[in-house]
């Protein structure tokens, strides 16, 4: 008799009709199909671990000059056996390694065809994979468990705010969280100066525009999407601005006259109201004069290029300084 087993006596007189089935056979077979450990590497089906890796790979960089391909995975022998894991209070698990191939490509000239420059394989250690025991259980931190519980948030977008408790002045700070079905979490949050930041998996915060640039948006596209755009022209020392909704509420430094009737639509120093803006549109006014001082500290939408020399005077998304403004106004042709 094995030591530690309880003795069971059967006093029944009716013989059993059916043998008791193996109640944990389904769980064990399911886990075996998930691992496919005993299946040859080149004959594994596209499910379980194999299917998970196939859904992620290949991984291609933004410029499509490098790619990582998945070859196969290997489950090594566990470092400790089941009894040692129970005694030491550790997980009964085995090292999981994958073999991947790094391909480096170089693009041809005008044709744009890619040519394989270099290819190398390497074995990568991913982590410890919990193993199922013969009784259909897992050993986690030395404790035998049937089901390993794990909290999983429902995917979606959550909006919240601090109700003004984090700031002395009672200013409400808004935040948002994007929870995908699979992948990294994104946390968007404002600071006291209304600058928007993002955290990936609750790590160091970055400017939210970095995420937009990583998704392929240019600085000009970002500025056009999130900021009001005003077209300004300079020529021979004079500055004009295009008539658009951006002008509503702004003051003018010269009288705005109707082209035909010479009626004063907006007086010097007055604000452009909605009714005055409609009159300007009805009169066919497309541009109005602008004070040169208003150009300072404005942000450029696109690169400012000297039309005579082709030199980039100021790049996109940079502020106009007094020096740059003077240089632009000194040009004979339009630079904005």
Structural domains of the chain, ranges and CATH numbers in brackets = 25-145 (no CATH), 156-217 (3.90.1110.10), 229-329 (no CATH)
Nearest to 328 by CA among 265, 254, 236: 236
- Cβ–Cβ under 8 Å, residues 312 and 220: no
- DSSP letters, 80-94, are S-HHHHHHHT---EE
pLDDT in tens, the chain (336 residues): 456 678 888 888 888 788 888 888 888 999 999 999 888 888 899 999 999 999 999 999 888 889 999 999 999 999 999 999 999 999 999 999 999 999 998 877 666 678 888 899 999 999 999 999 988 899 999 888 887 666 778 899 999 987 877 777 777 888 999 999 888 899 999 888 888 999 999 899 999 989 988 888 888 888 888 888 888 887 777 788 888 888 888 888 888 888 888 888 888 888 888 888 888 888 888 888 888 788 888 888 888 877 777 788 888 888 888 888 888 777 655 555
**pTM across the whole model:** 0.55
Evaluate the omega torsion of the peptide bond into residue 58 and state whether it is cis, within 30 degrees of 0: yes
């Amino acid at each position: 008799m094995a030591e530690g087993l309880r003795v069971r006596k059967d006093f029944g007189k009716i013989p059993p009709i059916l043998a008791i089935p193996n109640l944990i056979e389904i769980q064990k077979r399911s886990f075996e199909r998930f691992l496919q450990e005993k299946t040859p590497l080149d004959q594994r089906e596209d499910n379980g671990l194999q299917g998970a890796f196939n859904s992620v790979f290949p991984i291609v960089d933004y410029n499509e000059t490098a790619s990582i391909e998945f070859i196969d995975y290997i489950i090594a022998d566990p470092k400790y056996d089941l009894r040692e894991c129970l005694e030491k209070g550790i997980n009964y698990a085995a090292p999981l390694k994958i073999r991947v191939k790094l391909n480096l490509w170089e693009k041809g000239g005008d044709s744009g065809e890619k040519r394989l420059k270099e290819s190398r394989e390497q074995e990568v250690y991913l982590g410890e994979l919990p193993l199922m025991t013969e009784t259909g259980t897992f050993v986690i931190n030395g404790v035998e468990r049937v089901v390993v519980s794990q909290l999983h948030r429902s995917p979606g977008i959550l909006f919240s705010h601090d109700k003004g408790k984090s700031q002395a002045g009672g200013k409400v700070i808004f935040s948002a969280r994007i929870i995908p079905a699979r992948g990294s979490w994104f946390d968007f949050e404002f600071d006291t100066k209304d600058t928007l930041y993002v955290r990936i998996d609750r790590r160091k915060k970055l400017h939210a525009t970095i995420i937009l640039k990583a998704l392929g948006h240019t600085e000009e596209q970002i500025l056009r999407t999130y900021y009001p755009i005003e077209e300004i022209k300079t020529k021979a020392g004079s500055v004009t601005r295009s008539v658009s909704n951006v002008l509503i509420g702004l003051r003018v430094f010269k009288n705005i006259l109707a082209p035909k009737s010479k009626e004063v639509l907006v007086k010097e120093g007055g604000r452009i109201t909605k009714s005055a803006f409609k009159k300007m549109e009805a009169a066919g006014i497309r541009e109005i004069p602008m004070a040169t001082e208003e150009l300072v500290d404005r942000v450029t939408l696109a690169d400012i290029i000297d039309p005579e020399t082709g030199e980039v005077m100021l790049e996109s998304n940079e502020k106009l300084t007094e020096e740059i403004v003077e240089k632009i106004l000194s040009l004979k042709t339009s630079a904005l």
